[in-house]
Chains A and B, each alone.
Chain A
């Protein structure tokens, strides 16, 4: 009897472990499959003209340069607003904030900011930047909207990086007569820099791939030229992919896959750079 139970227990464990392994495979394989599939299907579309040319024939031919440049500008614009603000907020939370109600409220606000649906950011951007501040449907409105959406990612990862710097670093700097800001500026920030950069890139990666927040704040359906100023609307890769896969009839599949691949390279490339910076910094770290 006892023997039977032991056997049964072991059988259950074997079955259970196999089930969990199977579930993991069912989760992981589609991810790898998706990425490989897009690469394979999109590769034939890649050509010099596709990357550097303008769309022709109702976007059914030619290249996607305006969308690539547009996404680049939007990401850059997002960085200009969200990076300084996000890092400063992270410094506040890690170096200055007392442990009290107000700080807990700030943290709760950050968590909520991270959870707000992207389309609601779009509404907010439309209400505040496009209409109330009269920036119009423009790269400026879209970048500002995206940067508020990116903020929580940057704040939380940068704070984590700052907190990982050992307390003793700060103690030494202060004991040498450094002020609080000098300590942060010369000791803490340089040590935390790789972690902060990683966080910034991960935040911007999200901004680069988003469509919903720019739908009504700055995205253009089709633009036969590059945007001239921050007050111009712009094409963008994710919105372009949406347009050519739902709004344009008889769209050649190759151009769709090509656009998806360029977007994927843009986003995953940023992700890989971020991961690389993080792992290199970890390997070099002496504390």
Chain B
């Protein structure tokens, strides 16, 4: 009986430990498969062609630069919307709104994060893009701007949720001290609370922006999918095509192990590395902040 118990305990502990490490296994597996299917690209497509300006797979033109600039453009546009509105909303909820308003609105904003991206893309096609076409007098409503507006909406919940948590975690004594010195609440927010929460707010921005680079369905549905090199913010008003949309739109139609197939995996590899960079940096910021806090407290 005693022995039986020990044996079971041992087995369960092992299983739990193994599950604990599963995340590492999966990240490695994902990276391995992207490399396995993506790296042959380098043997099949000359580097000069890969970083050229023309994406036209039917004629074996695999220039991924227009796709990279497309993703960047849409993401920058989304950031220009999500950062001010996200942080503004977070400050309002954490510092200005009465508690009950915060408790009502925060879950509501987080609800937006739960809306399937395909629903937003659907509304983008049906409502946002015709509206933009008419009001801005554009030849088509399916533009980078349409994508940016919707992606901004997708990134906002992440930015609001994480920065509100960061602001909320700033000790009340900081604010009391500032107010006692005669600062207004507005001054306290800008000169004390927000600087104290800055690493959390920065993390929020990075993760929000990271999420918009990886968004697929919405951008595929509303950005018009034209692989044209974007050179500046003025291109927001023309159609673009992002890396994610390219993979989603073309992977279904390529032959396995063809060059086109390998290039699409190569693009996936680039996306993976971008998200790896964003997340490692974001968690490094949090980690550094924690260390500093420990130093101050000790």
Contacts and interface: CB of A to CB of B under 8 A. Distances in A.
A115 interface: yes
Contacts of B211: 115
Prevailing SS type, chain A contact patch: helix
B287 to A, nearest CB: 8
A202 B114 CA distance: 9
A122 interface: yes
B245 to A, nearest CB: 8
Interface string B68-102: 00000000000000001110110111001100000
20 contacts: A12-B186, A16-B186, A19-B88, A24-B105, A35-B115, A96-B13, A106-B21, A111-B283, A113-B23, A115-B211, A116-B214, A120-B271, A124-B30, A126-B251, A155-B23, A181-B13, A216-B251, A238-B217, A263-B118, A268-B111
A180 interface: yes
Prevailing SS type, chain B contact patch: helix
Interface stretch (A44-52, A61-69, A164-172, A203-211): A203-211
Nearest to A95: B16
Contacts of A246: 125, 221
- What 8 pairs between A and B have smallest CB-CB spacing? A117-B214, A92-B20, A209-B116, A88-B19, A23-B88, A13-B186, A127-B33, A109-B23
Contacts of B221: 242, 245-246
B278 interface: yes
A263 B120 CA distance: 12
Contact of A115 (B24, B114, B117, B279): B279
Interface in A6-44: 9-10, 12-13, 16-17, 19-21, 23-24, 26-28, 30-32, 34-35, 37-38
Nearest to A104: B287
A116 B96 contact: no
A264 B256 CA distance: 35
A24 B89 contact: yes
Interface string A116-153: 11111111101110011000000000000000100110
Given A20-B92, A215-B252, A263-B119, A120 B34 contact: yes
B23 A28 contact: no
B9 interface: yes
A110 B283 CA distance: 11
